[in-house]
Amino acid sequence: MEAIRFDNVTFRYNQTGDLRPPEEVLTDFGPSDYAVRGISFSIQKGEFVAILGHNGSGKSTVAKLMNGLLFPEKGTITVFGMSTRELEKLFEIRKRVGIVFQNPDNQMIATIVEDDIAFGPENIGIEPDEISRRVDWALRCVGMEGYRMASSFRLSGGQKQRIAIAGVLAIQPQVLVLDESTAMLDPLGRKEVLDVVKSLNKQQGMTVVLITHFMEEASLADRIIVLNDGEKVLEGTPRQVFSRYDYLKSIGLSVPFAAKVARILKDKGVPIEADVLTTEELFERICQLL
Amino acid sequence: MSIIVKHLSFVYNPNTPFAKKALNDINLVIEDGDFFGIIGHTGSGKSTLVQHFNALIKPSRGNVRVDGMDPAEKGADLRELRSNVGMVFQYPEYQLFAETVFDDVAFGFRNYYKRSKKELKRDPDRFKAETEERVREAITMVGLDYEKIKDKSPFDLSGGQKRRVAIAGVIVMRPKILVLDEPTAGLDPRGKAEILRLLHELKKNYCPTIVMISHNMNEIASNCNKIAVISEGKIICVRSPQELFSDDELIREKGIEVPEAVRLFKLLRQKGISFDRLPFNAEEAAGLLFERLKEEGKYA
Ligand SMILES: Nc1ncnc2c1ncn2[C@@H]1O[C@H](COP(=O)(O)OP(=O)(O)OP(=O)(O)O)[C@@H](O)[C@H]1O
Ligand SMILES: Nc1ncnc2c1ncn2[C@@H]1O[C@H](COP(=O)(O)OP(=O)(O)OP(=O)(O)O)[C@@H](O)[C@H]1O
Ligand SMILES: [Mg+2]
Ligand SMILES: [Mg+2]
């Protein structure tokens, strides 16, 4: 079953910050350059897809288009068969697609952590008992059980980010979109959150869209979509995508550590294949050489 | 210019139900010329610690001396201190606010010199010229084209460019110590590499001492000469990268993540393939492996 589909989607921001389509806004400013140009892709239910791209390549814009926070200028976006243009379907769409945004400070709503996490489920009409259970569960998922009654504004950067993730988990969306949601976490925290995400994906069949600047994280996905200047330029399995080292480098990206080491050795004439993704795989190959 | 921290403790919201001890008896010396790294889990107290370095917050106990001066003392010249210790916060681009890049970068400098009003009244042209010179210098230092970018709105820039503008707004004061809280978080791989290259250049030509908080172990190990590990408000140790990442017991005990290159070389060591030093990134790892292959007369 198809969860999300982009058909030839094009989008421009209006320089006024207005969210209406550019053709409806007549101002001195006019629309800005295209943030997204002619993008098409399809994400199946239960898939784990990563999106890579340089700063400003259009990743967050794609995320916001996915649940109707922005509307395409051209092309269509369908979420479980519903077009984001049908306004009466927006509520259903947003219930299904939960997005954790980049900056957690913009997402804190209530002053107490518990209320902050309960806000989403309340909004979609979940019963109080069930909300309480979900808040417990979401806090456990992100390792913040001890902070239920804490004040949201008195947390460190990484703690706020965990709460933001819990807030979206509590909605139990069918599609979870993480827009660089682990950028402020320490390495162990990032691993924990990714483990939670992976298990939600594998055990509960939650569809995951992971936007990240960490190549190692992207290599966990089933599939990677690469954006450059608003266009989709590559799509494939991590192994396929990360075999394009030179191209990725030319568009500001990189490859996982293991692939990079193998590639440098290969360039020096060492007979080693560069299509490795994990450090363990690289280790095996080096053992064969030494 | 050095920073000496003695018996520093800090409590948020003291004497309230929200009281929270964030720092607990911290002792630390950052010397002139250090590229000093600070690592530690989320909520361990890193940001709280560095905010003491330019007196944004004051110790509950103990003291901090910057170049011999204690900013918590009565009569301390905080303006002078803040121009000497430049602070780049987490995601500094969220604090950009002015209409043009020029005004954003000039803000700190203008503010600092407004105090000397007498001089200003006497010679506003010179003040203007000086502001322009300093802003041009700062924008050029961070690797941006002054003429091209000065009149743009900061909001029209890419993530990496915004980050550079925010750093320019700090170095416009010509600080002697630059403190950065996760300066590469959220940047794409090229942007990360560029900012790190920039920091080394700044260090060589401008501010000899750099303090960097980061969760990225590759980055910390590859760039810093000393690393402080903080855990639950306490300093666990201050070590060179080689010492820190060779200490398997400490790493296990404190749950410190190691750079991917170190992880690879530890796997190799378990197989009996050992090296006399650790690499911290892909280039170093490949270099060491290639040497070894050559020594053993294999494939080269
Ligand atoms: N509210 C806005 N108004 C005008 N232009 C915008 C707005 N938000 C983003 N843009 C522009 O749209 C383009 C795509 O931005 P987007 O935020 O989608 O990039 P991104 O890939 O998420 O980048 P990053 O990795 O830095 O988060 C960029 O050129 C950006 O400057
Ligand atoms: N304004 C505040 N009021 C009360 N407690 C706070 C405040 N800011 C931070 N804290 C608490 O102080 C401790 C240290 O926070 P700090 O921000 O220094 O951590 P950090 O090491 O910088 O973490 P991160 O890596 O997530 O940025 C945390 O437990 C945090 O919850
Ligand atoms: Mg983004
Ligand atoms: Mg911090």
- Helices (H), ranges, chain A: 59-66, 90-96, 113-123, 128-141, 157-169, 187-203, 215-218, 238-242, 245-250, 257-267, 279-289
CATH 3.40.50.300 fits B3-258, yes or no: yes
Domain boundaries, chain B: 3-258, 259-300
B71 confidence band (pLDDT: 50, 70, 90): confident
Residue range B102-124: mean pLDDT, rounded = 80
Which of B16, B21, B162, B188 is the best residue to mutate to test the A interface, defined by the most A CB atoms within 10 Å of its own CB?
A: B188
Residue range A192-218: mean pLDDT, rounded = 92
Nearest-neighbour CA in chain A from B268: distance (Å)? 7
The per-residue pLDDT for range B264-300, each reduced to its tens digit, is 999 999 999 999 999 999 999 999 999 999 998 876 5
Chain B residue nearest residue A105, CA to CA: B94
- Cα B155 to ligand 1 centroid, rounded to whole Å: 10
Q: CA dist A67 to A50, A89, B137, Å? A: 17, 10, 44
In this prediction the pTM is: 0.90
> In the prediction, which pLDDT does A31 show?
53
**Ligand 1 atom with the shortest distance to the CA of A64:** 18
Q: Tell me what percent of chain A is helix, strand and coil, each rounded to the nearest 5.
A: 40, 25, 35
The per-residue pLDDT for range A145-175, each reduced to its tens digit, is 999 998 887 787 778 888 888 999 999 999 9
> In the prediction, which pLDDT does B161 show?
86
- Cα A209 to ligand 4 centroid, rounded to whole Å: 26
Q: Establish whether residue A103 lines the binding site of ligand 1, counting it when its CB lies within 6 angstroms of any ligand atom.
A: no
Tell me if chain B has a CB within 8 Å of the CB of A78: no
Kind and range of the H or E run holding A9: strand A2-14
